[in-house]
Amino acid sequence: MNAPTADRRPHSFSRHGITVEDPYAWLRDPGYPEVKDEAVLSYLEAENAYFEAAMQPHKALTDALFAEMKGRIKEDDSSVPQKDGDYIYWRAFEIGAQYRKWYRKPVAGGEDQLILDEPALAEGHDYFRLGAMSVSPDGRYLAYAIDNNGSERFEARIKDLFTGDILPEIIPDTLSSLVWTSDSKGLLYGIANDQWRTDNARLHWLGQSVESDIELFHEDDEGFRVSVGLTSSEKWIVIATGDHVTTETWLLPADNPTAEPLLVAARKPGREYEVDEHEGTLYIRTNDTHPNFRLVKASLEAPDRWEEVIASDPHFYLTDFTLFKGFYVTEGRQDGLDQIELRDYATHAPKRIPFPEASYSASLDDNPEYDVTKLRIGYESMVTPDTIYDYHLATGELEVLKVQEIPSGYDATRYATERLMIAARDGTQIPVSIVYPRDLPRDGSAPLHLYGYGAYGIAMEPGFSTSRLSLLDRGFAFALAHIRGGDDLGQQWYLDGKLDKRTNSFTDFVDVAKGLIDLQYTSRGRIGISGGSAGGELMGAVVNSDPDLWGAVVAHVPFVDVLNTMLDETLPLTPGEWPEWGNPIEDKAAFETILAYDPYSNVSTQDYPPLMVTAGLNDPRVTYWEPAKWVAKLRATKTDGNMLILKTNMGAGHGGKSGRFESLHELAEEFAFILWQLGVAD
């Protein structure tokens, strides 16, 4: 079967005196978010048919990988039960089920109660995702939100847990948490507007029509997004608004949500802060004096007058804090490694919880109650399966509650993990987390898979993956590149990979690959790479700059048409994304910077490595036409005969197919492509 080709239709635009040709602009259906253009659909369907034909000879390998991955999953798995008020809650899969069921039982004793049945809700839909869910303070009502097409416009519903009835009121287009008032009679939420932006916080009273819901807060800045939440004590409702660099927070009494909201501190460009409350004192995490944040406190009477509690530290990145009745917890990273510290309200002196490995991921887990004597903690590393602990405050004991079970077996002694530092071209030391079979030859002959993201200040946690074992057991090393653009080494690490420093993320990734070659973990052309969304942008940039390094590339929902997207303020995310990428509409320098690295614009006449690309027709984050245009241009421009395949999920969004086995099958396809292209025998 021949690869499909897309028509080239003359189209260009000019900005800041620069003209850009875009012959595949027609692949954006003018009726989006509805996609009905026959030429567009015909091209996407032709690409899907070509994808299936290309992968068909490797179906046995895909099936084998899927069977391996599925065999490592405990099908009837369940979470560790956790007390919240008068009930103990947990969730569980049944054998063969794609989705979970959610349960509770009274602390005082009684029968298990099924409170939410995801498989039943998903029945008849090709896609299903549970969004926000929240039980009312009196334990009677469950508010939950579902998405059945991948568009991330959720429909919120309310269930009476005492009777099992679904209340008649249905709230469409929600895109937020669902927060109850303290009397269990009101529900706060936010809806997405026509541009998929949550610019509001609304109040629904039970038993009243949704049309009569009250807008409590409205945000006029189209770049800001509004969220709703609760303080740890559940005395205050938190309404926060912000973009990627600036925040502003308002508080409402949870027992009087229509009261005049209390402004904590007016927005200042570049200042981020988040708020919690303990016994009338506000605690605030903020980056007002240093990128690594500090903790301050203030009174409710003067919430914008801040007193320092924990000073900022260039070596400690304060990522989060959680208030409990008798103590509080700070989370952060010391030189890139997760740390959890307990502190008392009187002295604020830290007591750090020790962890045994040199590289790991650790954080607070599910801790819904305010007054506790133990903390639920999650821990894993690249060789240690996900482990749930209770940390007992009185003794300091870490009690193991659950270790991820791998039914087909797992022997951690067969693998080794390291944390490396590899120099980038500007001398910056880039952390790399790597795991590999203990018998991996260190002569450059082994294949290696390298994963990266490097955007939005999102760190790559060195966690455990059962699916990854399918590569390790075939002789691969697997590495995570903690490149700039994430916040792996602190907020400055993030700042050094965005806006006019964006290309640091790309060159860091390339330099990590070259460093791993120098260390003889692998060799040029023996490296498979993957990334999604902004990580897909990373894939697009590095195949343009260093195509011969890679033996196989997988780009999931790749953000590769950056310039066009940032120039289109009608798209859902664009105004809120300008602080991350720059505003090329108003800023010529930003236009030139983006144009210089934009993967789609910089496709050139050269050989490219084998590429597998995915998209989602209903994706509101990276619109389907970005990967479609990129693939079309690559087909028409590249000079090699290497495989290039595009799969568009016609009934899904940004995350691909839903359901634990459907998504696992897509991962098996990805691994099969990598093994095929790297010539690794099964």
Instruction: Say whether the peptide bond before residue 599 is cis (omega within 30 degrees of 0).
Output: no
Query: What is the DSSP-derived secondary structure letter of residue 222?
Result: T
Whether 533 is catalytic is yes
The single residue of 204, 556, 654, 665 carrying the catalytic annotation is 654
Whether 209 is catalytic is no
Residue 400: which residues within 8 A CB-CB, separation 6 or more?
387, 388, 389
Structure tokens given for 648: 């568009």
Exposure string for 469-482, b = 16+ CB within 10 A, e = fewer: bbbbebbbbbbbbb
At residue 41, the 3 state secondary structure works out as helix
Query: What is the DSSP-derived secondary structure letter of residue 521?
Result: S
Structure tokens given for 212: 């009569």
Q: Which whole-number Å values give the CA distances from 522 to 85, 224, 308, 346, 682, in the listed order?
A: 53, 44, 49, 53, 19
Tell me whether strands 113-117 and 374-380 are parallel, antiparallel or unpaired. unpaired
Report which secondary-structure segment, H or E, holds 22.
none
The single residue of 276, 390, 496, 619 carrying the catalytic annotation is 619
Exposure string for 264-302, b = 16+ CB within 10 A, e = fewer: bbebeeebbbbbbbbeeebbbbbbbebbbbbbbbbeeee
Question: DSSP of 8-73, one letter per residue?
Answer: P---EEEETTEEEE-TTGGGS-TTTTS---HHHHHHHHHHHHHHHHHHGGGHHHHHHHHHHHHHTS
Residue 96: which residues within 8 A CB-CB, separation 6 or more?
75
The rounded distance, in Å, linking the Cα atoms of 368 and 372 is 9
The rounded distance, in Å, linking the Cα atoms of 644 and 648 is 13
Answer yes or no: are the C-beta atoms of 32 and 84 closer than 8 Å.
no
Query: What is the DSSP-derived secondary structure letter of residue 604?
Result: -
The rounded distance, in Å, linking the Cα atoms of 627 and 611 is 12
Whether 147 is catalytic is no
| φ and ψ at residue 565, rounded to 5 degrees | -65, -45
Answer yes or no: are the C-beta atoms of 581 and 599 closer than 8 Å.
no
The rounded distance, in Å, linking the Cα atoms of 31 and 38 is 12
The rounded distance, in Å, linking the Cα atoms of 478 and 480 is 7
The single residue of 533, 546, 556, 561 carrying the catalytic annotation is 533
**The residue to which tokens 């995490």 are assigned:** 285
Cα Rg of the chain, angstroms: 25
The rounded distance, in Å, linking the Cα atoms of 244 and 534 is 15
Side-by-side strand order, sheet with 273-278: 273-278, 281-286, 294-299, 307-310
Which are the catalytic amino acids? 533, 619, 654
